[in-house]
Amino acid sequence: MRRTKNQHFISQVEQRLNTCNPGARPANQRIYEFKIEDRDERILRLTNAKGNLIENNLSMLDLFSFDVDRDIRLNFEEAFGRYEAQIRANTKSILLAHATGSSEISAEVFNLFVAKLMNFIRNPYSIAKVLNTFGLVADHHPTDPVVYDAYVRILTGRKPHQEYLCNELGISDDQYKTWLRLMFMLLTPMADGFPNFLEASQRSLFEAKTHEVIVHVHKYDEHKCLLSDRGFSSPIDQNLHLSFDFNLTSSAFIRYVFLDYKTVLGGELPESIRRGLELGPKLVKVSYQSNDLPALDIFHRRVIEQSYKNVYCSGKTAYGATILPPL
């Protein structure tokens, strides 16, 4: 339970890792916003020469509130906060591993993936896609009486903001309520000592023997990396291999690729290879690249193509993009 009314769907932590004035007090930190004018030609327009205040950026009023009573708001901010609190430390560890070439970061790589995937799930511009991806989870409900009592508040709670949000986002009341139920089911542990469904499902994805997990960490000395208003992009056709690109900081991004063996081989795995995969623990392969401009070009192309309407950056230029001045 939090009193927070202004609720971020891309955390302030991540935005501050891309701030244009990192030396300023948190209340004064800003980030540059660019409106996408032409996706194919990668033409962006700077919306404010001074940048946007991060405290108010990429947020909506009562977006995640499911029961509002005067100043008391029941929402998912505390659940989100548990993941947001890990982002800076995990990002720092991954970038340190990049600098030293260390491969001892499997926990950080997994934890960061879960936290970044949460941005996709809670993003108001991706609600239809989220429901299509995880929608079946919302068809279930908790069996534990204590957890169920909390769940009922989503069904019956007062939501005076609902009509406005649905109109603003172009979604139905049913879609909004299903989205709230889905987030509850994904983020709430159903019993003490057990992970929530979000963590459990992604652990299964990482440990599945049917594919290889490859992670690329890209770092740049001179060029800046864009941040999507959706929080992620996909570098390749998702019908072939599951893949995600995430901004790490103003000068780095990370790519996760789940390489499907059957697709690569064009058929079932040979028995000898299948048995070999089942013998040992699943390994996540992490590689590090520095100043790889073709990779940055692809990253920016996909971010601009797949963002809702805006992208963000710590600088006023973006590799591969044309920047127009504010109107």
- pLDDT, tens digit (0-9, with 9 covering 90-100), for 10-43: 999 999 999 999 999 999 999 999 999 999 999 9
What does the alpha-carbon distance between residue 299 and residue 296 come to, in Å, rounded to a whole number?
Answer: 5
The confidence score (pLDDT) of residue 259 equals 86
The confidence score (pLDDT) of residue 257 equals 94
29 domain-assigned: yes
1 domain-assigned: no
The confidence score (pLDDT) of residue 1 equals 46
Structural domains of the chain, count = 1
84 domain-assigned: yes
Instruction: Tell me which residue range forms the domain holding 209.
Output: 8-324
Q: Residue 190 burial (CB < 10 Å; 0-12/13-18/19+)?
A: middle
Residues in the chain predicted with pLDDT less than 50, given as ranges, are 1
273 domain-assigned: yes
The confidence score (pLDDT) of residue 273 equals 65
142 domain-assigned: yes
Q: Model pTM?
A: 0.92
At 57, the amino acid letter reads N
The confidence score (pLDDT) of residue 214 equals 93
Closest to 20 (Cα-Cα) out of 319, 325, 232, 313: 313
147 domain-assigned: yes
The confidence score (pLDDT) of residue 210 equals 80
The confidence score (pLDDT) of residue 261 equals 77
The confidence score (pLDDT) of residue 37 equals 98
3 domain-assigned: no
The confidence score (pLDDT) of residue 190 equals 83
The confidence score (pLDDT) of residue 279 equals 62
The confidence score (pLDDT) of residue 254 equals 98
What does the alpha-carbon distance between residue 279 and residue 314 come to, in Å, rounded to a whole number?
Answer: 46
